[in-house]
Amino acid sequence: MTVAAAVLAAVALSALLTPALLRAAGATPLRAVMMVAAALIAFAAGVLPQLASVLPAEALGGVLFDGAVLLLVSLLLAFEALLLLAAPPRRSAPLPASAVAGMRAALFLFMLAEELSRSFLPLYTRELYTPVPGLSETLMMGLPIGLFMALVAVFTPFAGAWADRFGSRRTLLLGTLPAVAGFAGTALAGSMAELLLWRSACALGYAVMFIGAQGFIARHTPAGQRARGMAQFVAAVVVAGLCGAPLGGILADLLGYRATFAASALQALAASFAAATLLPADRGERGRARRFRLGDVGGLLANQRFVALLLFSSVPTKLMLTGYLFYLVPVSLHAAGETPAGIGRLMMTYGLIIVLLGPWVSRLADRTGRHALFAGIGGLVGGAGALAILQDPGVPGILAGIAALGVAHALNNATQLALVPEICRAECARMGESSVFGVYRLLERGGSVAGPLLAAAVADRFGIQAALVTLGALGVLCGTAFCAVFLLAPAAAPASRTAGKGAVP
């Protein structure tokens, strides 16, 4: 305690003697969070000897691990809160930076609401299961995730059209309403049918919020700042994913599953309030954007390398995310004796690795121009990591798979997107990049839908471990096929380059 007291005394003394130093340290949200983190770490170091003398080694390790996770989540939440406080109300701040800051706050609150149930949704589904002819408990546990992803894919084109017609802010405000109702209804669901109904409402809200936020940033940032604006969008989603799983697991342990869904409803309501107060009004832009056409799908599917990118990289990436991380990981960890809080802490590893590696990988891939190489390595790493369960069928093997999946998605998420305009130069010139990316996003969501359903079907027939191995083997096979197509087979470059001169930027 002497060290802890000395740390507190030093902070208090510096505040009295050199207030300018503290003002400089807290000049930005990141500096303020780093200063608080340093003080908390120093305090923990001071009390560690006393804890070591009281607790056994195993218990001390658990306390330190839980404390580190809670510290990280608390700092991330504090950082987002500081950004929220720094975003002025919409009437006094029409600047692009302020508009994007307000959107980040609203998007973070909404995505956090969805992520709170990430560590226990299959377990909650099992509690509501009643025997259905032809549908086992294992299959039904994966159905809400698959249905959610399918409806997000269906609602996304409509959400984009609504945002174009009515404006992003109005669309976002209307879109949060079904999400609030969906979370509240999920908390009160008394049967599987009710759960599926309310999760469908959540899917509508999710699609509207996701597309509306992207459109808002595109409208309110100059062309030269659009990459930074989209970085704010990605940061809000990633930070919400980091905080949601462990925080939701803790709430589920303390208050129960239903109370956690009620907390999600309040979070979505807070997101609606943030959108109403922080976002400037905008108007729809009818007729400006080219509408999606079914013929666009056929035109892109004629591009063999585009099909290879989808089948061997993009779809398997989404399949591993929803089938492995969202479904099999909670179910298998629960079977291994982990609580929802423990499951959430382990799942946090995935997002943390992406945050640490993602920016570095993106810069390196852009610098070298080897996007296909990074995407191929990512597919192989993700599949091989899932096969670690063969070496250790317990929690360590699953944790190794989670970590490998984080590395894999850090390698291939951004590089997959960079490959689309590279291999679709002619299509981008003919249809526009927005339409090409719209078709790409729609088709890759097939993996999100198939993931939990495939994992549940294999687990129902052969067991959870067999399902983990199946997805891992599928990831390795798809990664190998992707490398064969993009790294060994030469591309038909001349025609593409000629067509690419007229590509939409």
Taking only the tens place, the pLDDT of each residue in 143-169 is 999 999 999 988 887 777 777 777 777
> In the chain, how many H helices and how many E strands?
22, 0
pLDDT of residue 199: 96
Q: Which two tokens stand for residue 389?
A: 């369960």
pLDDT of residue 92: 46
Class of domain 95-289: mainly alpha
Over residues 125-135, the mean pLDDT reads 85
Over residues 424-433, the mean pLDDT reads 80
- Top-confidence residue, 53 or 457: 457
Task: Round to whole Å and give the CA distance between 97 and 325.
Answer: 34
pLDDT of residue 499: 35
Least confident of 103-112, 244-253, 291-300: 291-300
Task: Round to whole Å and give the CA distance between 261 and 258.
Answer: 5
pLDDT of residue 497: 36
pLDDT of residue 62: 61
Question: Residue 91 pLDDT > 80, yes or no?
Answer: no
Cβ proximity of 455 and 473 under 8 Å? no
pTM surpassing 0.85? no
pLDDT of residue 110: 92
pLDDT of residue 367: 85
Domain ranges of the chain: 2-65, 95-289, 298-505
Task: Round to whole Å and give the CA distance between 357 and 254.
Answer: 33
Over residues 225-251, the mean pLDDT reads 79
Q: Which two tokens stand for residue 94?
A: 């029409």
Class of domain 298-505: mainly alpha
Strand partners, 358: none
Check for a shared fold between 95-289 and 298-505.
yes
Least confident of 96-105, 298-307, 376-385: 96-105
Q: Tell me the pLDDT band of 228, cut-offs 50, 70 and 90.
A: low
Quick one: which of 333, 321, 330, 323 has its CA closest to 117?
330
Question: Residue 105 pLDDT > 70, yes or no?
Answer: yes
Quick one: which of 310, 305, 306, 329 has its CA closest to 471?
329
Average pLDDT value over all residues in the chain: 80
The 10s digit of each residue's pLDDT in 430-486 is 877 767 877 888 888 899 999 999 999 999 999 999 999 999 999 999 999 999 998
User: What is the DSSP code string of 276-318?
Assistant: HHHSPP----TTTSPPP-HHHHHHHHT-HHHHHHIIIIIHHHH
Task: Round to whole Å and give the CA distance between 389 and 391.
Answer: 5
Cβ proximity of 320 and 405 under 8 Å? yes
Least confident of 31-40, 256-265, 277-286: 31-40
